[in-house]
Amino acid sequence: MYSGGYTGKVLRINLTHKTTRAEPLPEELARNFIGGAGFGIKYLFDEVKPGTDPLGSDNILVFAAGPFTGAGIPCASRMSVTAKSPLTGAVGVALSGGEFPTELKFAGWDVIIVEGKADKPTYVSILGQDVKFHDARHTWGTLTFDCQQLVKNELRDQNVRVCCIGPAGEHLSKMACLVNERRAVGRKGLGAVMGSKNLKALAVRGTDTVAIDSAQKYKVGRSELLQAFKASPVLYPEFSHHGTPMVTDLAGALGVLPAKNWTATGAFVPVEGIGRDAQATRIVGREHCHDCPVGCSQLKVAQTGEYAGILTEGPDFETVYSLGSGVGVDRVDPIIAADRLCDELGLDTISAGVTISFAMELYEKGLFTRADTDGIDLRFGNDQAMLQVLRKIAYRDGVGDLLADGSRAAAKRIGEGTEKYAMHVKGLELPGYDVRALKGHGLGFATAYTGADHCRGYAFQEVFGVPVPWHVDRLSTDGKGKLTIWNQDVRTATLDCAPMCAFLLDMAVPATACQNTATLMEAVTGLSFTPEQVLQVGERVNNLAKAFNVREGLTRADDTLPERLLTEPLPAGASKGNVLSRADLNKMLDEYYALRGWDVRTGVPTRQKLTDLGLAYVADQLGV
């Protein structure tokens, strides 16, 4: 039995009936899924029936911390939020840091499961074991930062941590996110799920501490982790000071920084205006998640023109791409303003930016006119137009209503062959790496259970040249099925389930991630794990997520990439001429499925594989 790390309690909140119920956290759940995304996907598969409307009352929203959250382990103030995604119809998982995840544990809960739908706008306060429903009609319509302050004031506690939605979630944009403090639970439209339930916010406050099973083992494990941090040539010297925007320069140098809806990668490389050094001139401070010594998140203030004085926490690399190079913007200040606006409105910056870049390409091709765009000159590089459209998306105003559900849905409504310009996988817009010259990264985008996702199997070996678990050639397809499985399973177990910050694997503990998690699991929880068992947790979670998607009707045909990446070579830059062809993708998929123990023809997990992972009941449901 676990004797630390977990609170041992799950809170169910039924918004329809305004009831709550505490349940024990089963030891089997902890052993087999660890926490975080593992818990979320397990509850999602078991409790959401096939065909459930993601925006219907039968969908659930699962907030799950992990055994490391609140235990004093650096870079572990993390939680996952899981639901059936309205953007993709598949598993929707997003993670976030800050203070809210730790406060959730201090309030005495490992998991919060939100069910049903309130009859009017509502927020829920969770002050330790005291859970109350509050009328939120006075906060409905507010921006996220304003909502948080109103809730804190009403509860008369400025230390309450609030996770809420903005106007985008209220208007059910399928690109809507959740925001806690200044941190986003960013992707898959989970803010729309929260809005569909008339739930404006969750507010948590606690005074408990997280028990540690073995103080001595904990001291040793934590010390080893901190030593790995210090030994990293990148983590403190570079990443701590610049955060993810430093990747902008690297992606530009490799010729893989997507530009102008992926039509100008390598040709339009505005690193001078939006890269690391340009952003460094805007830094006015740093933000740390709870118990994080790194502090990779910078506060930046815009300095020029109509944007002068706007402050944001960020923008991170993905936002620099999606609201910068992706839409043809070559200055950092408009990106700062757009990042702040997305946080206030509760919009995922990646999907919103990529969807706007899709509309910009249509406009430049004459498939959109000013009559279609409400008179907005929606050409690439028009930063004022970008901000106008972001607002319209959040409020479903005019052209914003067309774009509010993402590029796939917009292309379907427009027709005329525009789907080929929509840069998504399974409905989720592409992150900021042009995978025509990062082949394993491309397979990761194609096979991730969430759709195109930079957090589900990031191929850091190709991006940063790290030879762990082995050296790879980023332009080759050889062995990329095996590499992708390693990346997905290791990241899932050690980062998404524990959970811990994703950057640790890339920069500090790539070779020892599973051992690190096993050591700390035993020290904190008392549950004994080998590194191989940790890795198997990742495999189990990825198989269960795949099974959920299969049950929802997704097939091998959905494990693909946009037509542009499969047929159009990179036009310029260091990777000019590269393409990830259909033959390349199929070769990698065959290897990937075979090594996964899935049916190569269909991509469906086999009964043998599911049974080996303790998921025989899942095989029964899939009929395999």
485 pLDDT exceeds 90?
A: yes
What is the C-alpha separation between 370 and 215, in angstroms, rounded?
65
184 pLDDT exceeds 90?
A: yes
pTM above 0.85, yes or no: yes
Residues 417-446, mean pLDDT to the nearest whole number: 98
Tens of pLDDT, residue by residue over 50-98, are 999 999 999 999 999 999 999 999 999 999 999 999 999 999 999 999 9
Locate 320 and state its tokens: 């620099």
Q: Give the model's pLDDT for residue 526.
A: 98
For the chain, percent of residues with pLDDT exceeding 70: 100
Q: Give the model's pLDDT for residue 503.
A: 82
Tens of pLDDT, residue by residue over 522-581, are 999 999 999 999 999 999 999 999 999 999 999 999 999 999 999 999 999 999 999 999
403 pLDDT exceeds 90?
A: yes
Residues 398-406, mean pLDDT to the nearest whole number: 98
Residue 491 contacts residue 457 (beta carbons within 8 Å): yes
502 pLDDT exceeds 90?
A: no
280 by DSSP, 3-state: which?
A: helix
- pLDDT range class, residue 295, cuts 50, 70, 90: confident
Locate 349 and state its tokens: 């910056």
In eight-state DSSP terms, residue 122 is: E
Residues 189-194, mean pLDDT to the nearest whole number: 98
Residues 216-244, mean pLDDT to the nearest whole number: 92
Tens of pLDDT, residue by residue over 369-384, are 999 999 999 999 999 9
Question: CA of 36: how far to CAs of 87, 100, 375, 538, in Å?
Answer: 21, 14, 45, 12
Q: Give the model's pLDDT for residue 350.
A: 98
What is the C-alpha separation between 540 and 550, in angstroms, rounded?
15
Residue 212 contacts residue 71 (beta carbons within 8 Å): yes
293 pLDDT exceeds 90?
A: no
Q: Give the model's pLDDT for residue 294.
A: 87
21 by DSSP, 3-state: which?
A: strand
What is the C-alpha separation between 517 and 182, in angstroms, rounded?
28
In eight-state DSSP terms, residue 214 is: -
463 pLDDT exceeds 90?
A: yes
- pLDDT range class, residue 619, cuts 50, 70, 90: very high
In eight-state DSSP terms, residue 236 is: I
What residue has token string 């959250």?
Answer: 69
Residue 110 contacts residue 69 (beta carbons within 8 Å): no
Run of H or E residues at 583: helix 582-596
Sign of the dihedral through C-alpha 351, 356, 360, 366:
positive
In eight-state DSSP terms, residue 380 is: T
DSSP lists the bridge partners of residue 24 as: 9
What is the C-alpha separation between 150 and 144, in angstroms, rounded?
10
Burial-class residue 448 by CB neighbours within 10 Å (0-12, 13-18, 19+). buried
What is the C-alpha separation between 26 and 10, in angstroms, rounded?
10
- pLDDT range class, residue 328, cuts 50, 70, 90: very high
What is the C-alpha separation between 579 and 34, in angstroms, rounded?
39
387 pLDDT exceeds 90?
A: yes
Q: How big is the chain, counted in residues? A: 624
What is the C-alpha separation between 27 and 157, in angstroms, rounded?
34
SS (H, E, C) 519-534: HHHHHHHCCCCCHHHH
506 pLDDT exceeds 90?
A: no
Locate 387 and state its tokens: 């901000």
What residue has token string 């901190």?
Answer: 226
Rounded (to 5) percent helix, strand, coil in the chain: 45, 15, 45
Q: Give the model's pLDDT for residue 471.
A: 97
Q: Give the model's pLDDT for residue 372.
A: 96
Q: Give the model's pLDDT for residue 310.
A: 98
Rounded to the nearest integer, the mean pLDDT of the chain is 97
Phi and psi torsions of 291, nearest 5°: 65, 25
DSSP lists the bridge partners of residue 21 as: 12
Residue 405 contacts residue 539 (beta carbons within 8 Å): no
Contacts of 223 by beta carbon, 8 Å cutoff, 6+ apart: none
Exposed e or buried b for every residue in 520-553, given b needs 16+ CB within 10 A? bbbbbbbbebebebbbbbbbbbbbbbbbbbbbbe
Count of Cβ atoms closer than 10 Å to residue 301 Cβ: 16
CATH numbers and ranges of domains, the chain: 9-205 (3.60.9.10), 243-423 (1.10.569.10), 435-561+581-622 (1.10.599.10)
Which residue, 173, 49, 45, 201, is CA-closest to 114?
201
What is the C-alpha separation between 95 and 378, in angstroms, rounded?
32
DSSP lists the bridge partners of residue 287 as: 297
Residue 38 contacts residue 537 (beta carbons within 8 Å): yes
- pLDDT range class, residue 507, cuts 50, 70, 90: confident
Q: Give the model's pLDDT for residue 505.
A: 83
Q: Where are the beta strands (DSSP E) in 254-384?
A: 283-287, 297-301, 311-313
What is the C-alpha separation between 591 and 481, in angstroms, rounded?
5
Count of Cβ atoms closer than 10 Å to residue 309 Cβ: 9
- DSSP annotation string for 491-506: HIIIIIITT--THHHH
For the chain, percent of residues with pLDDT exceeding 90: 94
- pLDDT range class, residue 240, cuts 50, 70, 90: confident
461 by DSSP, 3-state: which?
A: helix
The amino acid that residue 519 corresponds to is T
Burial-class residue 583 by CB neighbours within 10 Å (0-12, 13-18, 19+). exposed
Which residue, 307, 171, 546, is CA-closest to 323?
307
462 pLDDT exceeds 90?
A: yes
